[in-house]
Structure 1
Amino acid sequence: MRYTHGVVRADGSLSEKVFEEWLPSKPEIRYTSDRVALATERDACHSAGEAADAENESVRCWLLGDVYGYEDGGHGCPRGYEPRPADIDPAQYCLSLYERTGFEFLEGLNGNYTLLLYDRERQRFALCTDRFGTVPVYWTRADDGSIVFSTNVQLLPFHPAVDTAYHPAYLHEYLAFRCTFGVKTPLEGVEKLEPGTITSIALGDGSLRTEQYWRPQYRPRDESFEWFVEEFADRFRTVVDEWTHDGHEYGVLLSGGSDSRLVLSVLENATAFHMNDWMNREARIAERVALQAGATFELLERGPEYRIGSLERNRWAESFNGWFSQPYTSGFESRITEQVDGLLSGLYSDSLFGGYSVPSPNVSLGPLGSMTVPIERPIETVDEYIDLLLERAHDNLDMPTDLRTVLESNIHRDGDRIVHHGVTYESLEDLVYYGSCYPLSNDDDMRFHTDLRRMLPYRSPFLDNRLLDLSLSMPPRYRLRRDLVGQAVTRLDPDLAAIPHASTGVSLSRSFPVEYAGEHFLEFWRKHVTNRTPPKPYLTDGPWLDDAELLRSFEFTNDVLDQRGHLADAFPGPDADAIRELYHTHCHDEDRVGELYTLLTVLTMPVTEYLTDVPESNRAETIDLLSRQSQVIDVE
């Protein structure tokens, strides 16, 4: 894993040894002045070095992530988009824009990044996040008055001047939702930077100021669905064409569905990486797609050992967003990086263009199961939104806080706007449609997204500003009762679209009613008609194994509790005996995967061991031990 860390101290008393007591491993790149110190590994950021500062020696900048281009405009001028030239270092590119416009350029900057700017002349250090906060930075004000920040929230408590503990309310939220909302984290006094903001630290007095330059505003366009398909397909192809370059090898994380198939439809000579536990229906569909597209098919076979091994392998995965298993590719890092120079995925397609973010009623069919009806469920009050969240929660744990009370304390109106855990939305409608992915850390796949970004140059095209803008103009009825992505694949590569979707059994080119009926018929057939069974109870015909059966088939829950159960006894949540009882309940056919996986994630985090089980006298020894345990292991 590669991380970036910093300390800002207004009184000018930073020393060159500022990182030696804090970080468990020696960073490759350091920058230290008497007020600002930054440490990072080389691949984690692009630094505009001294040569890049030549035109303005008072400014230095670092870019975590990447920028793709800039949309100019304002002052009555028409807006025009220009991709960043491939031969210009992205940090130098940002520095030149800052020198021209100050912070105004951020409104038109397109990328997935957090930008750090040290302006000596103006005596300020600024942390600037992109529109959706796709590169999270965690920060706190330490006991000595300094601002300490890191891209790894688990490392902040190791700083000698940071005093923190688990916050019962936000730990409860993480255990219930497997994510923490807005700027909050389960660590007291530790927050994330807000998305679309400039957080400036005045180096004269240490004061902190946050300015919002962007937030999502839903403005539906009165256009036909065919217009959206054409516009979406054109923008998507443009985004991928701009990011990929001749002479580079690219990979796609390919499923049997439509999102990644869309990526493959606009690439040539790609490698299609498909993760699965055996060569099931999903894998066979993915292989057909790869062969049709002329791509190399690479099966990354996991199996139960891979899943169980991720408890240890991913324990340093930094965010309280998702489970230990969700850096899905972490065990295949060398296999991927040895074959390709860059990687693309279809992540966040459904959140931005599908029905996931539009509330819909769920109808019970009795013994046949249930189904989601593709009509919008109106959410007209904050209380109704909180009810919606609670319906999705795993809240069967004995906690010292009440989940509804926690949500009501953190989601409220501020005039016409809504504040959700420190992040402001222009309207309740904006919150309902985009609260699941704005900021991106509200989505529990943030762990996967971050792990991919750290592994090699990586991009999800759906997070490009041009596609985000299109999402903000798309009527909900098209999300719920049309398949934008499937129709875009049909437009771009009809032969790929003709291959059935693994979850529906029908081609992407078919109408939405046919897809909808196919999905539910296939689910009914699997549950109630066919007698075909996978070779192991935890294997499925889909992209993921059955975690409920995995927990019943292997004793890794008890193994974790034998080793780390005493940690559960020390933090504000269920103790080891309660977790064992929960596991016992699960093994007797009550599904408790949500609660158990989130608890196992917390128990295996280094920060939990450090906060609950480490005497101050053993601090240095523990840092060294956890550092040696943080190596990423590849599974071949």
Structure 2
Amino acid sequence: MSDILIAFGPMATEENVHSLLSRGPGVWAEGVRTFRFSWGVVGVRPPKIGGYEPIQDDSGVTAVVGRPRLMGRDHEMSGSGFVRAIMPIVTNQSCGAEALYDMLTGMFVLAQADSSGIQLLTDRMGFRPVYYCQRAIGTRLEDVAAISDLTDAFDIVSLGELVVHNVITFPYTSRRGITELPPASVVDVSPSGAIRRTRTIWEPCEPDGFGDDSQVEEDLEIALRFAGEDITRGANRVGVTLSGGQDSRAVLGVIPKDRVAACLTYCTRENRETDVARQVAKAFGLRQVLVRRSDEFYADLLVSGTSLLGTEVRANAHGLCLLNAGIADDYDLIVGGQLSDTLLKDHFMPVDEYERLRPKTFGERVRAAARLMMRRSAVRGAPPSCTRGRDVLEMVLEDEVRDEVASRRARRLEEVAKIRPHSAREWQRFWPVSRQDDCSHSLGNSRIVSWDVLFMHTKVIEVACRIPPRLRCDGELALRVFSRLYGPSASIVNANTGLPMDATPAQVRAARAARSRNKAIKNAFMRLEPSDAPWNDVQGSWVDSEKLQKLSRRWGLYRGRLVDSAAIDVLRPVLKRDVRAMVSKYDDTLPPTVNHMVMQLMLVIDGVLSRRPSMAAS
């Protein structure tokens, strides 16, 4: 619900800035504030609730985007409560940004503007991206591009990265001339829009030694319990998004129950996921609310999600169902469990590193030895459908695009290796978090509701930086700590595995292997009874993306509109494949993520080139 847009130069108008900040689903247009300076305009859409109204005084304007918190401190939950709380710290020259930063947690951008220019403070892990070009700065790339006349300045290398990896290498964006500002930094911008100075305050440095396992385990539990208390302090009606898995259950376990008004479970069809979540909520003595989604929710999301999030990520803004169901404003805070797999577990660990670290059965060791004897790698690569296997998909890119993608990623790897020498390949994939390929969940929800994520808390991040790779493998450390947070729900099965919560990684792998060997068993575990919308016949939280793209009537309408679009000519120099053929029909040789992103980019580019309201802006 909150964004900022800063426009430089005599042509910048408050009307244009206000109009851009008022676009998008669920936008609180009445809350948009604009401020005129001699050098341009600052526009802010603050969070609807939470104490983040901007303050203007003789020294200028202080504004906040997102949901920053002063750790362990109370502030008014309405009006300008938070902004007033930080003002004495920000204006104290002996303290400055560093002192304030040590107190802050959450997803945020802080801005101070006066006649001499503007200073921006970005959050610790880049949860909320800030985009820059000399004519504009903002938290939505499409707004920055529109103000700067760069809407149609598509970068074909970035488009290639989006198709294959679903993200763009930091700091590039989908438009030439626009980059992302670094995380955890103070950025000083002159009245001309030029950056005078960038000062990095914090980096997720790799420790020289990872220390004692029991100490990091204790530290993680303390951090999680503190975070659960801290992010909900002052909130009286908290909604917790609850699935049938591990992470959301751990989140529920650390939030004071007298603050929780309901457990929110996304639901298209009731299934094993909703049933297990209902049992968990009941075990904690809490009410479950099923947030209903229409049969075509995920087809509609191709349009509405892009309208909310723009071009830079695969726009799976699942939380839009909160808005559709009319309950977005029923809670003064909604808390989720995103990023646990990223920050605490092995979701982005390279396959060879994972295979080196994970415990193996005797049979697995024998098979690995046999592969070596046949002069084949002892490690099988991850499938292209897996986050860790997408590199092989770069073959679909034109040679020049593929080479530049590889060059970008290699340069970024070198930069990350300066602070994470042993884990750079893993951290490159999610630092800053705005470049994590699934960040649309947390970023999207932050624009719809008053939103926070337990695992974004500063204390949790500080521990995450110190977790040894072997304890990230199979989420060993996280699950060990989570087991002490499940409380009365510990005896309820994990909906994702069908096994008890304390099942070992080896038991989970064995169960998956058994299902993969027997199609009937796998179908019984994964599928619901057939319906008229077969893409929703699943036992989990989401959707069968391949069936959605092949069978949804709504998706078919998108194909019909775009098959003759001029946008095809923009993507043609990016891909070796026949773009028109990919638009007209699902490409079975490529995973759903690639097919999805081609359609998303086609919608965006078509809207830009046609010079009419885009489907993604409706």
TM-score, normalized by length of structure 2?
0.82
**Separation in 1, partners of 2:215, 2:195:** 49
Aligned residue runs from structure 1 range 27-176, under 5 A: 28-43=32-47, 46-50=52-56, 53=57, 57-69=58-70, 82-86=72-76, 89-100=81-92, 101-108=95-102, 109-120=104-115, 123-141=116-134, 147-159=135-147, 161-162=149-150, 164-176=152-164
Q: Would the alpha carbon gap of residues 174 and 33 (structure 1) be closer, same or farther in structure 2, given more than 3 Å must change? A: same
Does residue 448 of structure 2 align to residue 470 of structure 1? no
Q: 2:237 aligns with which of 223, 245, 249?
A: 249
Q: Counterparts of 2:47 and 2:101 in 1: how far apart (Å)?
A: 26
Match of 1:359 in 2: 350
**What is the DSSP-based 3-state SS (H/G/I as helix, E as strand, rest coil) of the residue aligned with 2:107?**
strand
- Deviation string 1:480-520 (CA, Å, 9 cap, x unpaired) is 15533333332134431221112222222344443443454
Distance 2:408 2:127 in 1: 26
Is 1:572 paired with 2:575?
no
Residue 49 to residue 246, structure 1, CA distance change in 2 (3 Å): closer
Distance of 2:502 and 2:76 partners within structure 1: 36
Identity among equivalent positions (%) equals 17
Asked if structure 2 preserves the Cα contact closer than 8 Å seen for 1:582 and 1:592, the reply is: no
Q: Which residue of 1 aligns with 2:528?
A: 534
- Structure with bigger strand share is 1
Match of 2:267 in 1: 276
The one-letter amino acid of 1:49's match is: I
Structure 1 residues 482 and 446 mapped into 2: Cα distance closer, same or farther (>3 Å)? closer
Q: For residue 567 of structure 1, report the CA deviation from its aligned partner.
A: 3.4
Question: 1:315-359 CA distances to partner (integer Å, 9 max, x unpaired)?
Answer: 3123434334x1002133153324322111110001111111322
Q: Kindly tell me: are residues 48 and 335 of structure 1, through their superposed partners in 2, closer, same or farther at Cα, counting changes over 3 Å? A: closer
Q: Which moved more, 1:219-228 or 1:349-358?
A: 219-228
Q: Do 1:317 and 1:447's aligned partners in 2 also have CA atoms closer than 8 Å?
A: no
**1:612 and 2:609 are equivalent in the alignment:** yes
Secondary structure, aligned partner of 2:69: strand
- CA distance in 2 between partners of 1:453 and 1:584 (Å): 34
Letter in 1 for 2:319: T
Alignment pair present for 1:418 and 2:411: no
Q: CA offset at residue 453 of structure 1? A: 0.9
The alignment of Structure 1 onto Structure 2 pairs a total of residues equal to: 567
**1:38 Cα shift?**
1.2
1:357 alignment partner, SS class: coil
Q: 1:519, 1:224 → 2: CA distance?
A: 33
- The 2-side partners of 1:13 and 1:279 are apart by 53
Q: Which moved more, 1:434-443 or 1:102-111?
A: 102-111
Cα deviation for residue 21 of structure 1 reads 8.5
Equivalent positions of 1:161-560 (< 5 A) are 161-162=149-150, 164-203=152-191, 206-219=194-207, 222-245=210-233, 248-267=236-255, 268=257, 269-302=260-293, 304-324=295-315, 326-333=316-323, 334-361=325-352, 391-392=390-391, 394-395=393-394, 397=396, 399=398, 401-412=400-411, 418-419=414-415, 425-481=418-474, 483-522=476-515, 524=517, 534-536=528-530, 537-538=534-535, 539-560=537-558
* 1:147-189: CA deviation from partner (whole Å, max 9, x where unpaired): 3122221223322654751111111111111111211111111
Evaluate the alpha carbon distance shift between residue 6 and residue 498 of structure 1 in structure 2; reply closer, same or farther with a 3 A threshold: same
Q: Which ranges in structure 2 are unaligned for 5 or more consecutive residues? A: 24-28, 356-363, 369-386
**Contact 2:187/2:195, CA 8 A, preserved across alignment:** no
- Superposition deviation, residue 194 in structure 1: 1.2
Give the drift of 1:592: 3.6
The runs of at least 4 aligned residues of structure 1 exceeding 6 Å deviation read 20-24, 574-577
Shift of 1:116: 0.8
Task: Give deviations 1:408-440, integer Å, cap 9, x for gaps.
Answer: 245338xxx9236xxx84244342232222111
Mapped partners of 1:629, 1:437: distance in 2: 26
Partner SS for 1:504: coil
How many angstroms does 1:205 deviate by? 8.5
1-structure distance, mates of 2:196, 2:151: 20
Q: Does structure 2 conserve the Cα–Cα contact (< 8 Å) formed by 1:180 and 1:441?
A: no
**Counterpart AA for 2:82:** P
Check the 8 A contact 2:21/2:43 in 1, yes or no: no
Structure 1 residue 558: deviation in Å?
Answer: 4.0
Tell me the CA shift for residue 525 of structure 1.
Answer: 5.2
Distance 2:441 2:8 in 1: 29
**More helix per residue:** 2
Give the letter for the 2:280 counterpart. V
Distance 1:286 1:24, change over 3 A: closer
2:237 touches 2:333 (CA, 8 Å); kept in 1? yes
Residues 447-485 of structure 1 deviation map (CA, whole Å, 9 limit, x = unaligned): 221221122221111111111110111111111155333
RMSD of aligned Cα (Å) = 3.5
Cα deviation for residue 226 of structure 1 reads: 4.2
Distance 1:544 1:41, change over 3 A: same
Q: Which moved more, 1:250-259 or 1:396-405?
A: 396-405
More displaced, 272-281 or 248-257? 272-281
1:258 shift after superposition: 0.5
Structure 2 Cα separation of the partners of residues 512 and 410 of structure 1 = 31
Question: 3-state DSSP class of the match of 1:402?
Answer: helix
- Once the two structures are TM-superposed, the CA of residue 274 in structure 1 deviates from its matched residue by 1.4
C-alpha displacement of 1:107: 4.1
| Structure 2 Cα separation of the partners of residues 39 and 197 of structure 1 | 21
Whether the 8 Å contact between 1:23 and 1:158 is mirrored in structure 2 is no
Secondary structure of the 2:41 match is strand
1:314 counterpart SS class: helix
Q: Which amino acid aligns with 1:310?
A: L
Give the aligned partner of residue 8 of structure 1: 8
